[in-house]
Amino acid sequence: MKIGIIGAGRIGATLARHFARIGHDVALSNSRGPETLTDLVQELGSSVRATTAAEAADHGQVVVVTIPYGRFRELPAEQLHGKVVVDTCNYYPERDGHDPELDADITTSSEKIRAFTGANLVKAFNAIYWENLRDRGLPKGDPGRLAIPVSGTDWEAKAVVSGLIRDIGFDPVDAGDLGLGGRKHQPGSRVYGAELSADELSGAVGAGASAARA
């Protein structure tokens, strides 16, 4: 699959490494330009190339957005419109600046990124600490396999993203839509950063969760 990644930090580079390892064709980008990613893509191998963010968005059948939430208005909205986009971003006011709508819990960070881009957004990989994402992938059925919550409104998009999660060694658990569902795994929620099995995570994010795991 062709995968674009916008953001080449801890999460972006970790996902690029995983996706390349299982045979995907990855375009990786940051804000400073592809020339600043030369060493990283060389280390990641020939399945990963450095591009601009707009090129990564164009390239991907699935595009991962993994940047500080406060910079989402810099995203290439035109290229992301209608695409399956995986949103790993979390809102940290001390890093991102205050967003009054999020402070008042009127909406969620993912809903705002969806509104800005018009993308078919799936929230995932936001609640797992990056070192666990890097190091703790395990084969299907291993009792130590960690679960990753996923939310969004489009079942097909969630199925694609869930497949990627499984393929890199984790169990996806559906938390629901981006509103109520997304709130269940954003910072401050009980599952955020927790190291849980699929059954434990399904129990924590509530009704409907296990049905979508299949």
Ligand X SMILES: NC(=O)c1ccc[n+]([C@@H]2O[C@H](COP(=O)([O-])OP(=O)(O)OC[C@H]3O[C@@H](n4cnc5c(N)ncnc54)[C@H](OP(=O)(O)O)[C@@H]3O)[C@@H](O)[C@H]2O)c1
Given the complex with ligand X, which of 129 and 210 has the nearer CB atom?
129
For binding to ligand X (CB under 6 A), which residues are involved? Answer: 6-12, 29-32, 53, 66-69, 71, 74, 88-90, 126, 128-130
What is the smallest separation between the CB atom of 214 and ligand X, expressed in angstroms?
25
What is the smallest separation between the CB atom of 185 and ligand X, expressed in angstroms?
10
Given the complex with ligand X, which of 12 and 169 has the nearer CB atom?
12
Taking CB atoms, the residue at the shortest distance from ligand X is: 9
Given the complex with ligand X, which of 32 and 214 has the nearer CB atom?
32
Q: Give CA angle at 84 (83, 89), nearest 5°.
A: 110
What is the smallest separation between the CB atom of 30 and ligand X, expressed in angstroms?
3
What is the smallest separation between the CB atom of 18 and ligand X, expressed in angstroms?
13
Given the complex with ligand X, which of 95 and 140 has the nearer CB atom?
95
